[in-house]
Amino acid sequence: MFDGPEPIYVQIAQMIRAQVLSGELGEEEQVMSTTQFATTFRINPATAQKAFGQLVDEGVLYKRRGLGMFVAVGARERLLEEHRTRYFDEVLRPALLQADLLSIPRGAIVDFVWGRPPAAPDKEDS
């Protein structure tokens, strides 16, 4: 785990964000402690601490003194909003660029999105 090219704390933050997004981690639910993170993933506790710090700044987590880290109320909604706006830029745009590279007409993509059978191949519209 955490074998990506980004720094490990960035990957931990991404993992927690993904868990909040999917609902695996509910609002007001407690997150694993830095110690649990450190021993589970064999990483330095400060690395987990750094990820938590970033998520607190983003408003995804908040700290309860003496108890640990919890998922903030409204965190999922905020993350959803953020990811929706980024989806077009980060997912769809590269996919469409790739489609252009492969000369897949936009019509075929729209058909796919709507679940329509692919249109009979006709002359390329230009």
Partner 1 sequence: MTPPFAARLDGVGVRFGRPKARADQSLVDARDPATALVDATCTLRPGVITGVLGRNGAGKTTMLSLLAAFRRPTSGSVLVGPEGAMEDPWENTWITSGVQLVRESGDLFGDEAVKETLKYYADMRPEWDADLAARLLDLFEVDLRKKPAALSRGKRSAVGAVVGLAGRAPLTIFDEVYLGMDAPTRYAFYDELLADYAEHPRTVLISSHLVDEVDRLFEDVVVIDRGRVLVTGPADDLRARGATLTGPAADVERASAGRTVLHERRLGPTTELTVDGPLNDEERAAATDAGVTVGAVAIQDMFVHLTSGKGQDR
Decide: helix, strand or coil at residue 68.
strand
- In the complex with partner 1, which residue's Cβ is closer, 30 or 39? 39
For 85, 98, 101, the CA distances from 5, given in Å and listed in that order, are 24, 23, 27
How far is Cα 109 from Cα 91, in angstroms, rounded to an integer? 14
CB of 56 to partner 1, least distance (A): 18
CB of 73 to partner 1, least distance (A): 29
> Is residue 44 at the binding interface for partner 1, with CB under 8 A as the rule?
yes
Minimum CB separation from partner 1 for residue 91, in Å?
A: 16
Stretch that binds partner 1, among 6-14, 53-61, 63-71, 72-80 (CB under 8 A): 6-14
Helix (H) or strand (E) holding 62: strand 61-64
**Single-letter amino acid, residue 18:** A
Residue from the set 18, 24, 39, 95 that interacts with partner 1 by CB under 8 A: 39
Size of the site for partner 1 (CB under 8 A): 17
Region 7-36 residues binding partner 1, contact defined as CB under 8 A: 7-9, 34-35
- H helices present in the chain, as ranges: 8-22, 34-41, 45-58, 75-87, 93-101, 106-114
Residues lying near partner 1 in the complex (CB under 8 A): 2, 5-9, 34-35, 38-39, 41-47
